[in-house]
Amino acid sequence: MRFLYNSLLLAALFGFQPSAWAQDPMVLPRLSGSIELDGLSNEPAWEILAPLPATMYQPVFQGEMTERTEFRIAYDDNYLYIAGRFYDTDPGGILTSSLYRDGGTFADDYLNVVIDPFNDNENALWFWTTPAGIRGDMAVSNDNEGESALNESWDTFWDVATVTTEEGWFVEVRIPFSSLGFQAKGNRVVMGMALSRVIARKNERHVFPAIPPDWERGFAKPSLAQDVVLRGIASQKPLYFTPYMLGGGQRATVQAVPDAPYEYENDFTRDIGLDVKYNLTSNLTLDLTVNTDFAQVEADEAQINLGRFSLFFPEKRPFFQERAGIFDYAFDAQERLFHSRRIGLTDAGEPVPILGGTRLVGRLGAWDLGLIDMQTARSHGQPSENFGIFRLRRQLFNTNSFAGGIATSRIDEAGNHNLVYGLDGLFRVTGDEYLTVKWAQSFDSGLDRFRFDKAAFVQMRWQRRRQKGFNYMVWLTRWGADFQPKMGFYTRRDYSQTLGRIAYGWFPGSESVFRRFEPVAFANVYFRNEDGAVETGVWGISNTLEWKSGANLLFEMIGHYEDLRSPLSFPENTDVPVGDHTFYRVNLRYDTASGRRYRTILGASLGSFYDGTRTAFMLSPTWNVSKHLELSTTYQANFVRFPDRDQRFDAHIVQFRTLVALNTRVSASAFVQYNSAADLFAVNARFRYNFGERNDLWIVYNENLYTDQQGLEHRRPLSQSRVVLLKYTHTLGL
């Protein structure tokens, strides 16, 4: 506790200093006349505005830009406008790989617009488009630190127009203030904003403001964005009704009793429901739902589980995406106190009917606020349950620090309950030095007695957030035996963890063919609380080499220790016995330059595996035949051998994905997967007609096929399950 006290004292003493990237706010101009959204930005209202200064971000920071780039920003009473004039001396080299909504790839030229609407230096909305005029958007949390900071499932209302000429490509973006939200102080609104242009074939990025590449994805970090001032913006309060209609049928293979012959069970679905969205204020949004539409049109990707714990699958359902970062309370990259897939889905991923619920997110004064309350129906042998979550947090000490709390409740109709509260804080102590502190506790009706320390979780992390130069992380965690956040995702309990990581990022300069090197050393150890013994240990070194072309090479040498208290099972009746196991592996991964119509990822892993060996390969090529057709496949192979016990298994995953788009409104996709470990072949095919934002017609076909019939007393049908759905959603705005 003394360490915690001293750390908070440091935050209080040093946290008031201005950010290491403090900039004077820039007053945005109002448009002086009307414009036509055609991409050209040639109206007088645009012409009188001076372009913003652009700087090369990569491959060499502040290097000489090979093409002329102009950004302009303006606004009127209802919209924020961004114009890009992206001149190109070789217009035939401008790359567009897709017409699919959110379907652009690293092989595209881009305009990226990152907006921190509440200027909290923590959360942002990321909009992007390509020369084809496709729209992509995602939400950013945790100041864009770590992969979990990007929520690619978030969508909102906005418009874009593009045109390509012999001079280059030109773009206009129009974003309603109602899609952003904001907080006014008097007549003044301050937002953060960062723009960037990508020239894919050159791996070249131009940015505004002149952010150096000292931080990972620094060009899209809310804390580094330019503060911009808008005046006289009226509060927007649109009301959206989104009814849906769903119809279709499914057929599943079942056994009435064990060892009985297989039979088909048919089920026909006809359903309607309604979602309502209303901006109570410019900074507070209310969502209401009745008979919630949680019909999935996108399949989870198959994974091979060669570890001890359950696999993590991200949330993709639209209802949970609006400012989802408010609810973040992560234990590590994947484990978290609240995981919305616990609502409306069983642990096996089967849908549970949602009777209704409400969701309130936004800001009240200095406080970020999030509230969810959902009621599920009885289904799959589970009782009706109520799920609640309440989140509050606010900036403290400086604009890069916050403190807050969270509470979750899961109560079924019989009165069984799981209640959790948590407190957390992120403090920028000085420069790029950050301290993270978390404390949580659960109360579960299934426990015979409550023990304060056993039902608690505590974590402290000290981190230097930089990509350039010396950076490090120290991480301490203690998880009690009775701490059970049953609305979260977690893999182990009753442990203490120590993690250390040290790295050095180096940018060789303009003369080198390499853009960046980053050698890393790390160690991560889990101790059992009951006896203090090491349960799991992982340690190693790695090095990342990035070429200026955009190609990457990763080399890793990893050591692993596991103390198994129970046998570990794998496919083909293979297992690992109880005992201590130490093993090592070498990993290689090479990504070709991304700014190509054809590109690939190659990976290999070789080494020992418990008391045996494991050899693994991965190949993932992608070919953008044209902007209308993308073909990609992934092949993963694992060959595991235990020669001393005469056991072995091979595990393969083959995935093939096809994206077809006639234009930005009409598209289709097919996703085919084969997983040898699960003896399953799966097909997910979708047709989409997009009449407008959130006005969609979907036709979905899913089928799972058995691939193994051996050793069965009764031969099962080839098809495990088949689903055909027709889904239509239509959003009405008032």
Q: What is the CATH number of the domain that holds 43?
A: 2.60.40.1190
pLDDT of residue 525 exceeding 60, the answer is yes
Does residue 507 sit within a domain? no
Lowest mean pLDDT among 10-24, 66-80, 135-149, 644-658: 10-24
Residue range 503-523, pLDDT digits in tens? 999 999 888 999 999 999 999
- For residue 90, the model assigns a pLDDT of 95
Please report the pLDDT score of residue 596 as a whole number. 87
Instruction: Say how far apart CA 54 and CA 68 lie, in whole Å.
Output: 9
**Mind listing the pLDDT tens digit for each residue in 658-711?**
989 888 889 998 999 998 877 788 898 999 998 877 788 999 898 888 777 654
Residue 214 lies in a domain: yes
Under 8 Å between Cβ of 123 and 159: no
**Higher per-residue confidence, 102 vs 672:** 672
pLDDT greater than 60 at residue 9: no
Mean pLDDT along residues 547-558: 96
- More confident call, 719 vs 373: 373
Confidence label for 106 from pLDDT (cuts 50, 70 and 90): confident
In a domain, 57, yes or no: yes
- Return the pLDDT at 2: 46
pLDDT at 219: 95
Residue bearing the bigger pLDDT, 350 or 634:
634
Q: What is the pLDDT of residues 169-194, one digit of tens each?
A: 999 999 999 888 888 888 899 999 99
The span from the CA of 172 to the CA of 73, in Å, is 10
What percent of the chain is modeled with pLDDT above 90? 58
- Return the top range by mean pLDDT from 306-310, 347-351, 600-604: 600-604
Of residues 355 and 734, the one with the higher pLDDT is 355
Closest to 558 measured CA to CA, from 592, 603, 579, 588: 588
Per-residue confidence (pLDDT) for residue 518, from 0 to 100: 96
CB 71 within 8 A of CB 84: yes
Question: Of 151-165, 245-259, 529-543, which has the strongest mean pLDDT?
Answer: 529-543
Residue 680 is predicted with a pLDDT of: 81
Range of the domain at 100: 31-231
CA atoms of 118 and 116, how far apart (whole Å) = 6
C-alpha span between 410 and 124 (Å, rounded): 30
CA distances from 392 to 327, 368, 406, 429, 436 (A): 9, 6, 6, 22, 16
Domain contains 201: yes
pLDDT-derived band at 382, boundaries 50, 70, 90: confident
Statement: residue 21 has pLDDT above 70 = no
DSSP letter for each residue of 12-55:
HHHTTSPPTT----EEPPBPSS----SS---SHHHHTSPPBP-E
Residue 464 lies in a domain: no
> Best-predicted range by mean pLDDT among 73-82, 152-161, 257-266?
73-82
Comparing 108-117, 272-281, 500-509, the range with the smallest average pLDDT is 272-281
pLDDT tens digits, 75-96: 999 999 999 999 999 999 998 8
Name the band, by pLDDT with cuts 50, 70 and 90, for residue 304: low
Give percent of the chain above pLDDT 70: 92
**Confidence check: pLDDT of 6 > 70:** no
Nearest one of 390, 405, 488 to 444, comparing CA atoms: 488
As a whole number of Å, the CA-based R_g of the chain is 26
Asked if residue 153 belongs to a domain, the reply is: yes
- Residue at 342 is within a domain: no
The total number of structural domains that make up the chain: 1
113 closest CA partner among 47, 56, 174, 168: 174
- Mean pLDDT across the chain: 88
> Would you state the pLDDT for residue 16?
39
pLDDT at 712: 57
Residue 634 bridge partners (DSSP): 655
Q: What is the mean pLDDT of residues 236-254?
A: 85
**Model confidence band, residue 18 (pLDDT cutoffs 50, 70, 90):** very low
294 belongs to a structural domain = no
Q: Which two tokens stand for residue 337?
A: 């106190």
Q: How many CA atoms lie within 13 A of 492 on its CB side?
A: 16
Q: Residue 10 pLDDT more than 50?
A: no
Q: Taking residues 541-568, report their average pLDDT.
A: 95
Three-state secondary-structure class, residue 320 = helix
Q: What is the predicted pLDDT for the residue at 13? A: 44
- Which backbone phi and psi does 6 adopt, to 5 degrees? -65, -35
Identity at 329, one-letter amino acid code: Y
